[in-house]
């Protein structure tokens, strides 16, 4: 008599092998927004935006002559510190992955580095637009309060056409900071680089335009600070002026950002 061995039957289905769905872009942007202000530096950057807006408003009310209590005066006073703080936020949004050594986790969860950088760019733009809306609102309140205290008529001298240009000017500054963050991927060098290109470089280009006549016509096409100031003043109106803005944007943002993204995708994340 022989025993018959019956092979065991399995009812478990084989794994399908389907890849997990990609994380939606909206969720990536929300995560990047939270990461921008989770750190101590990011948190105090956010606090400083509100604090400096209030201090600038108070300074205009206290020190400005009655004839200068206008909406443009308040927005200019508030916009000055923001033009420095917002690019720093953009730089830290990128370099935090390397300075805090969180890049390995981030790019493991989301292997597409381009999607991560794109989400950081969108989060940065949202912070910039939101901050400017806060600045306009605080400036409006300050203008009403300042004119009432000074006993003068309330002057609204920022046109609807100039407001978007002011916002765009701040976004250009943030884009410069963001680009430096992508290219250098280290907070300190990127911050120093921003102050060099925003404070030192314009003076060098201005001096070169003074000593070389042929360069005076070329300067507006390569000096991004010159086109940014025109945006802040709301004077970018003609086609040539918009072409100058496109030229400086291509030179200082588009080309370096493309190079930085190329090297970032090929670099080793530690």
Q: What is the pLDDT of residues 174-230, one digit of tens each?
A: 999 999 999 999 889 999 999 999 999 989 999 998 888 888 889 989 999 989 988
By three-state DSSP, how is residue 94 classified?
Answer: helix
Name the DSSP letter for residue 68.
G
Query: Is the pLDDT assigned to residue 244 strictly greater than 90?
Result: yes
Name the DSSP letter for residue 251.
I
By three-state DSSP, how is residue 138 classified?
Answer: helix
- Domain spans in the chain, listed from the N-terminal domain onward: 25-266
Cβ neighbours around 233 below 10 Å, total: 14
Whole-prediction pTM: 0.86
List the one residue out of 99, 122, 98 whose CA is nearest residue 31.
122
Q: What is the pLDDT of residues 75-112, one digit of tens each?
A: 888 888 888 899 999 999 898 888 777 777 787 788 88
**8 A C-beta contact, residue 88 and residue 117:** no
Q: What sign does the dihedral 109-112-114-118 (CA atoms) show?
A: negative
**pLDDT of 78:** 87
Q: CB under 8 Å, gap of 24 or more: what pairs does 160-166 form?
A: 161/234, 162/233, 162/234, 163/136, 163/234, 165/231, 165/232, 165/234, 165/236, 166/75, 166/79, 166/132, 166/231, 166/232, 166/234
**d(C-alpha 104, C-alpha 18), whole Å:** 24
**pLDDT of 5:** 55
**pLDDT of 234:** 82
Q: What is the pLDDT of residues 2-45, one digit of tens each?
A: 555 555 554 444 455 565 677 888 899 998 888 888 777 778 88
């Amino acid at each position: 008599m022989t025993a018959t061995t019956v092979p065991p039957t399995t009812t478990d289905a084989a794994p399908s092998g389907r890849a997990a769905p990609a994380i939606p872009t909206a969720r990536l942007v929300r995560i990047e927004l939270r990461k921008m202000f989770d750190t101590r530096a990011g948190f105090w950057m956010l606090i400083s935006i509100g604090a400096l807006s209030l201090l600038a408003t108070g300074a205009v009310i206290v020190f400005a002559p009655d004839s200068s209590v206008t909406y443009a005066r308040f927005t200019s006073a508030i916009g000055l510190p923001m033009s420095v703080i917002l690019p720093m936020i953009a730089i830290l949004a990128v370099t935090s992955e390397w300075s805090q050594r969180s890049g390995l986790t981030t790019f493991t969860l989301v292997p597409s580095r381009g999607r991560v950088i794109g989400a950081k760019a969108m989060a940065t733009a949202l912070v910039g637009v939101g901050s400017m809306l806060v600045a306009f609102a605080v400036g409006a309140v300050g203008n009403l309060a300042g004119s009432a205290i000074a006993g003068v008529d309330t002057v609204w001298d920022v046109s609807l056409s100039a407001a978007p240009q002011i916002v765009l000017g701040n976004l250009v500054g943030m884009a410069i900071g963001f680009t430096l963050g992508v290219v250098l991927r280290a907070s300190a060098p990127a911050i120093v680089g921003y102050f060099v290109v925003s404070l030192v470089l314009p003076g060098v280009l201005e001096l070169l335009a003074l000593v070389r006549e042929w360069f005076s016509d070329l300067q507006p096409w390569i000096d991004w600070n010159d086109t940014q100031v025109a945006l802040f003043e709301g004077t970018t109106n003609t086609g040539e002026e918009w072409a100058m803005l496109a030229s400086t944007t291509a030179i200082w943002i588009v080309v370096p950002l493309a190079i930085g993204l190329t090297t970032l995708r090929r670099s080793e994340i530690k």
